[in-house]
Amino acid sequence: MVYQKNVLIGVSGGIAAYKACALTSKLVQKGANVKVIMTENATQFVSPLTFQALSRNPVYTDTFDEKDPQKIAHIDLADWADLVIIAPATANIIGKLASGLADDMLSTTLLATEATVYIAPAMNVHMYAHPAVIKNMKQLEEWGYHFIEPGAGYLACGYVGKGRLEEPETIIKVIEGHQNTNKLLTGKTVLVSAGPTREKIDPVRFFTNRSTGKMGFAIAEAAAELGADVVLVTGPTDQKTENKHISRIDVESAEDMYKAMHRFFPSSDIVIKAAAVADYRPKIVHNEKLKKQPGDWQFEMERTKDILKSLGEEKNHQFLVGFAAETTNPIEYGLAKLKKKNLDAIVINNVAQEGAGFGGDTNIVTYINASNKQENIAIASKRNVAKQLINFIHRDMKDDKQ
């Protein structure tokens, strides 16, 4: 809900600026406290006086116009806002924000705020499809900004296509929907495994795999953003955790991960095993570095413990989700894993498919629950994929209780 929320609207210089007037009015009618920042170009389309009358607050257009000498205006606004809406968001302001530029009142305030930011793009259809614009939007999405997709229709430039600012009613509906679901997992404990494992050969060598942990870390972040207390068990990775609701447990080997997952499993509500755990390890681990010898080396390998299967055997109230990274017949093998390991859902991806492999910033997955309901997620950032997966899991948990 936007009732009694402090809403900061950023209006950039596009013909759709007139729709921001209606957006301001409707937010005020819903009980929001609204303030408006306009770029210099935006004032060429709509007068600041219009927004002042609609919002019943001063309108900000100049970084150096300090209306209250006791405060720095752009910092004060950044701290005041509960949420920020950029509407319309031109290619220019999107590019500025993605590049970290701050050369006017709006861009400076956006860099300073810690509020949730919603971006409603509006531009020519070809501009919207330009690789630079797409790259900038993906970067902002990775950083946690929320996009309200433009509509398709007749544009002011004469083209017909995607790029028209979404209607004010729809913008508010999307924001209220997101605000209402923002704490879906409050009170829940989510256990996530991520990254690779390392199986030691000697003090300088080990067996590992190509996992970077990006998908598992994205899932942990998505769950924390929805209010969950997250325990993240991770193998060796360069990924960082900054969310205070994520407790990070660093491990190295498959045995280490087995012990950590079983330690936290009983107190968890949702368990998502996204780690790429070694299936085999050297049977003999050498305490001294193995010296180079003539001819070939041979290592006798032994099976590691099957973490996911063991969790499936022990689960009672937990919603258990596994990952299946395959290269051939992914759905077939994923479904077999779902049943064999007593899972509530499986996330399947073909790591040989472009855009879905280890180490990349995107993924393409299929989510299947125990009732064989299948959801396909097309190529998207791992952050976006993680959010969709968490929503599917929450939906299926609710269905199980009905």
Digit-coded pLDDT (tens) for 213-242: 999 999 999 999 888 999 999 999 999 988
C-alpha 363: how far from its chain's center? Answer: 12
Confidence at residue 160, expressed as pLDDT on a 0 to 100 scale: 54
CATH architecture for segment(s) 189-282+293-401: 3-Layer(aba) Sandwich (3.40)
Confidence at residue 91, expressed as pLDDT on a 0 to 100 scale: 96
Confidence at residue 337, expressed as pLDDT on a 0 to 100 scale: 96
The answer to whether 289 is annotated as binding is yes
Q: What share of the chain has pLDDT > 70, as a percent?
A: 96
Q: Are 376 and 366 in contact (CB under 8 A)?
A: yes
Q: Are 265 and 272 in contact (CB under 8 A)?
A: no
Of 385, 54, 359, 28, the residue nearest 221 (C-alpha): 385
Same fold for the domain at 6-181 and the one at 189-282+293-401? yes
The rounded mean pLDDT for the chain is: 92
Active-site residues: which are they?
A: 157
Confidence at residue 229, expressed as pLDDT on a 0 to 100 scale: 95
Query: In this structure, which amino acid lies at residue 270?
Result: I
CA distances from 144 to 98, 328, 351, 371 (A): 12, 34, 25, 32
- Is the pLDDT confidence value at 266 over 60? yes
| DSSP state for residue 276 in the 8-state scheme | B
Euclidean distance between CA atoms 197 and 204, whole angstroms: 15
The answer to whether 337 is annotated as binding is yes
Euclidean distance between CA atoms 136 and 33, whole angstroms: 30
Confidence at residue 239, expressed as pLDDT on a 0 to 100 scale: 94
User: What is the tens place of the pLDDT at every residue in 244-260?
Assistant: 889 999 999 999 999 99
Annotate 175-210 with DSSP letters as a single string.
HHHHHHHTTTTTT-EEEEEESB--EEEETTEEE--S
The answer to whether 71 is annotated as binding is no
User: What is the tens place of the pLDDT at every residue in 136-162?
Assistant: 998 998 888 999 988 655 545 554 556
Higher per-residue pLDDT: 156 or 169: 169
Confidence at residue 348, expressed as pLDDT on a 0 to 100 scale: 96
Euclidean distance between CA atoms 163 and 129, whole angstroms: 9
**Domain locations along the chain:** 6-181, 189-282+293-401
Confidence of residue 182 (pLDDT cuts 50, 70, 90): low
Report the alpha-carbon angle 208-360-238, nearest 5: 55
The answer to whether 162 is annotated as binding is no
Confidence at residue 85, expressed as pLDDT on a 0 to 100 scale: 97
Confidence of residue 2 (pLDDT cuts 50, 70, 90): confident
Helices (H) and strands (E) in the chain, counts: 13, 20
Q: What share of the chain has pLDDT > 90, as a percent?
A: 74
Q: Are 215 and 347 in contact (CB under 8 A)?
A: no
User: Who contacts 361 (Cβ-Cβ below 8 Å, separation ≥6)?
Assistant: 142, 214, 381, 382
Q: Domain spanning 6-181: which CATH class is it, in words?
A: alpha beta
Q: What is the mean pLDDT of residues 71-94?
A: 94
User: What is the tens place of the pLDDT at every residue in 268-296?
Assistant: 999 999 999 999 999 999 999 999 889 89
